[in-house]
Structure 1
Amino acid sequence: MKTTIDMNWVKDHIDDENIVIADCRFNLQDPREGRRQYNKAHLPHAVYFDLEKDLSRQATRHGGRHPLPDVKDLAFKLGNSGVDHRKTVIAYDDQGGAFAARLWWLLNYFGHDKVLVMDEGFSAWHKEGYPVENDRPAPHPTQFVPKVHNEMIVTHVDVCSLLENKDNVALIDSRARSRYLGEEEPMDAKAGHIPGAENWFWKENLTPEGKWKTEPELKNRFASLENKKSITVYCGSGVTACPNILGLQKAGFTNVKLYPGSWSDWISYEEYPIAKGAENKNG
């Protein structure tokens, strides 16, 4: 299944009536920056999707920093953005696809697989001199009917079961190596990783130039996971796990699930174990 799309193709099809462009730019350190950048300039017809207001619901004690959004709320936002079962959504950001991939994953979770992440991001688009706008589009509202696929997610209880039964399964930590090792933790109250997890930093799905690696390159990257009967992916809060899931899907894997609460949910349970340091060749 195709997961990414070249920005030259996007430029040539930007006015197609069956395409909805989604701007997903965001900054975890400055949550308002993405909206400011959108207001300054965005791709023609692009609708803004805010990570914390649209692609997440409000955090509570458990569930992580970016819990999955309320189904009705996101379905309403999608419908008001002109998205229905006929439309293809093309998502972009300026952070290597981290936030665009969150929308990509959510749409698949909602049963809508007509969604692609634009290879490269807004800066590359702007650098090429491609058209931008600073006005807000007026899409034709429609009804988006979600068909939620709960088999695509796991809970903290499921992860506990993985720790007890490690028979040919993989648990992937998508964060930077220093966070996985427990050497630093800039976002959450505790440092380390879930015991048994392997570290596959999500940014290694990208080339040094910031483009998504090719299917053969990603197949090679994830080759050691080929015989795993299931792969569970987490990060800090269920966001940057999504580009790893996209990379795995691009490489041909279909047995991949997201732990939405991720590390920030795991550490909210005082009784759950924490590991630090390297555990295996990817950990």
Structure 2
Amino acid sequence: MGNLGLTGKETIVIYESGFGMRAARVGWMLEYAGAHKVFLLEGGFQAWRKSHFPTENRPLEPEAKIFRIRPLARLLATADEIRSDKSAQILDVRSEGEFTGKEGRECDKRQGRIPHARWLEWTNFIEGGKRFKTRSEIASVLKERGLNKNRSTVVVTYCHRGARAAAAYYALRSMGYGKVRNYVGSWHEWSARKNLPVEK
């Protein structure tokens, strides 16, 4: 990151072509590494261009700086922590087929879900693939699914490899949930560890 001219102290805005999970994952990784101010550009580059904001295509040659990595453990959930912390709310943000075990990726050793996980697909937080839904809309979704209103509760999001979970992480953060953690290993790791239980 230092080669990109970043120290972690500046404001960093992450975007992709549209709006979704890729920018969210990069943003989460930067926060975990210790970056202080990370934001996602709603609508991505497409929305920026549609708004007629300035663009450029010349290559940048930033001055190299030092980015000191200071991992923030409170943003990360591990498989062992999920097993030991019975009070945490586990949120599976994959598709319904993945949640029920009827669908899955070939690279996964087993199909199903983490025991006691609740299902709320990450797309429920997104409006038309362009932006996050409004706070009131997200609040309605959470209420409908009966998710804990106590925003001091630890909430762990997971998907297949942490990208969709990162989008859900930011949506919940915007709602005031202060203890959201991303299980980056997600189902890919959980399914591969034979000592970990699976529900279907």
The answer, yes or no, to whether TM exceeds 0.5 is yes
Q: 1:14 — aligned with what?
A: none
1:18-57 to 2 correspondences below 5 Å: none
1:252 aligned to 2:176? yes
Query: Where do 5+ consecutive residues of structure 2 fail to align?
Result: none
1:123 aligned to 2:46? yes
1:1-283 to 2 correspondences below 5 Å: 78-94=1-17, 96-162=19-85, 165=86, 167=87, 169-186=88-105, 188-189=107-108, 190-208=110-128, 210-223=130-143, 224-227=147-150, 229-276=153-200
Give 1:185 shift: 1.1
Give 1:230 shift: 1.4
Give 1:124 shift: 2.9
Query: TM-score normalized by structure 1?
Result: 0.63
- 3-state secondary structure, aligned to 1:240: helix
Query: Is 1:101–1:242's contact at 8 Å kept on the other side of the alignment?
Result: yes
- 3-state secondary structure, aligned to 1:266: helix
CA deviation profile, 1:218-258 (whole Å, cap 9, x unmatched): 23333432226211111101221101000000011001112
Give 1:263 shift: 0.4
Q: Which moved more, 1:236-245 or 1:226-235?
A: 226-235
1:202–1:79 Cα change, 3 Å: same
The letter of the residue matching 1:109 is Y
Query: TM-score normalized by structure 2?
Result: 0.87
Give 1:205 shift: 1.0
Query: Is 1:233–1:256's contact at 8 Å kept on the other side of the alignment?
Result: yes
Higher relative contact order (CA closer than 8 Å, sequence separation 6+): 2
Query: Is 1:171–1:198's contact at 8 Å kept on the other side of the alignment?
Result: yes
% identical aligned pairs: 28
2: CA distance, partners of 1:260 / 1:187? 19
CA deviation profile, 1:48-83 (whole Å, cap 9, x unmatched): xxxxxxxxxxxxxxxxxxxxxxxxxxxxxx211111
Q: What is the total number of aligned residue pairs between the two structures?
A: 195
Query: Is 2:2–2:65's contact at 8 Å kept on the other side of the alignment?
Result: yes
Query: Where do 5+ consecutive residues of structure 1 fail to align?
Result: 1-77, 277-283
The letter of the residue matching 1:117 is L
